[in-house]
């Protein structure tokens, strides 16, 4: 089950996974019986993500996407996390086998191309309780928790933490330079895309000016008025937890997209270390906060972010 055409098909779908700043920090190495998933640390964000936590979560998203695509194709997958202790870049080996595919993952593959990050306001339509329970079950299936932040007071306090995180990040010139460096024209196939002629101006503005106050006000408003805010957390905070969090995140996102629900991220209170424990206490979630989501029904179809060609992410 590991012929080249099958491998390229699965990788082409795996790279539709989300990643921080659309860095796409993954590589796939063909194996005799499958494929290895590697972290591409050349695409790391050392200021925004100094421990490569979000990088590993992004790779976990790609891993779950590959598993779902394989299940849809009737291929069984057997995942061995961290198979080479001497090489920390090898995050997982995925054996592709004849046999019984994971039936629960197969229906999620239909949403791989439909899932997009939606950064605008959502419709006011509430998300059904049954859908939210299914999303919590999806996270649990991958060894994580999904806790809803319920109540106006709790959601308001969470939105305040998001705004505090915005101000702290924008106050750091190194963070602004890193953000600007990942502003790319769409033809590059990665990064935070802008029309080509706008990129140099946008980069200059972001590098030069602390716009944290305005960004914080906007994000606080969007967060507080989102139909759902939810926190993904894991029992501990090691690299294995990060990989599991990524798989849980993508399983949640695909299960949501099947129901027409999209998401975006409010990770500022997790990225700013001083705010992370406060968010965990607010959500009442044991363990380590990993991803803060807002979910709802988009008023308009989100446009897909670009991806690099498969040939650039398969390491021959």
Question: Are both 21 and 63 inside the same structural domain?
Answer: yes
Indicate the range of 60-74, 251-265, 290-304 predicted with least confidence.
Answer: 290-304
Domain boundaries, position 66: 4-115+304-312
Has residue 101 got a pLDDT over 80?
no
Q: How confident is the model at residue 316 (pLDDT cuts 50, 70, 90)?
A: confident
230, 139: one domain:
yes
pLDDT at 188 over 80: yes
Q: Of 255, 96, 224, which Cα lies nearest the Cα of 151?
A: 224
Distance CA 163, CA 160 (A): 5
Q: Lowest-pLDDT range, 89-103, 124-138, 233-247?
A: 89-103
Q: What is the pLDDT of residue 2?
A: 62
Residues 6+ apart with CB under 8 A from 270: 276, 279, 289, 290, 291, 292
pLDDT at 246: 99
Query: Residue 86: pLDDT band by 50, 70, 90 thresholds?
Result: very high
C-alpha closest to that of 251 among 144, 148, 150: 144
Same-domain pairing of 111 and 133: no
Total domain count, the chain: 2
């Amino acid at each position: 089950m590991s012929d080249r055409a099958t491998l390229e098909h699965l990788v082409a779908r795996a790279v539709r996974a989300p990643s921080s700043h659309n860095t796409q920090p993954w590589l796939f190495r063909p194996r005799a019986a499958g494929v290895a998933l590697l972290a591409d640390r050349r695409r790391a964000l050392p200021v925004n993500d100094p421990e490569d936590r979000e990088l590993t979560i992004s790779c976990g998203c790609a891993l779950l996407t590959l598993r779902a695509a394989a299940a849809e194709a009737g291929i069984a997958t057997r995942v061995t996390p961290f198979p080479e202790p001497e090489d920390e870049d090898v995050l997982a080996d995925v054996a592709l086998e004849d046999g019984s595919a994971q039936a629960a993952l197969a229906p999620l593959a239909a949403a791989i191309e439909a899932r997009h990050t939606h950064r605008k306001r959502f419709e006011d339509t509430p998300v059904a309780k049954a859908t939210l329970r299914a999303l919590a079950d999806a996270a649990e299936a991958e060894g994580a928790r999904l806790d809803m932040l319920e109540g106006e007071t709790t959601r308001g306090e969470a939105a305040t933490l998001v705004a505090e995180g915005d101000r702290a990040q924008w106050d750091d010139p190194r963070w602004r330079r890193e953000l600007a460096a990942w502003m790319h024209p769409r033809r590059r196939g990665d990064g935070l895309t802008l029309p080509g002629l706008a990129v140099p101006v946008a980069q200059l503005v972001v590098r030069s000016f602390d716009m944290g106050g305005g960004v914080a006000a906007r994000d606080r408003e969007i967060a507080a008025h989102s139909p759902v805010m939810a926190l993904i957390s894991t029992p501990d905070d090691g690299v294995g937890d990060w990989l599991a969090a990524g798989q849980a995140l993508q399983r949640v996102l695909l299960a949501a997209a099947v129901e027409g629900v999209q998401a975006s991220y409010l990770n500022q209170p997790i990225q700013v270390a001083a705010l992370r424990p406060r968010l965990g206490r607010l959500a009442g979630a044991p363990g380590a906060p990993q991803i803060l989501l807002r979910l709802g029904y988009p008023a308009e179809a989100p446009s897909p972010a670009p991806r690099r060609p498969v040939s650039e992410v398969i390491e021959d």
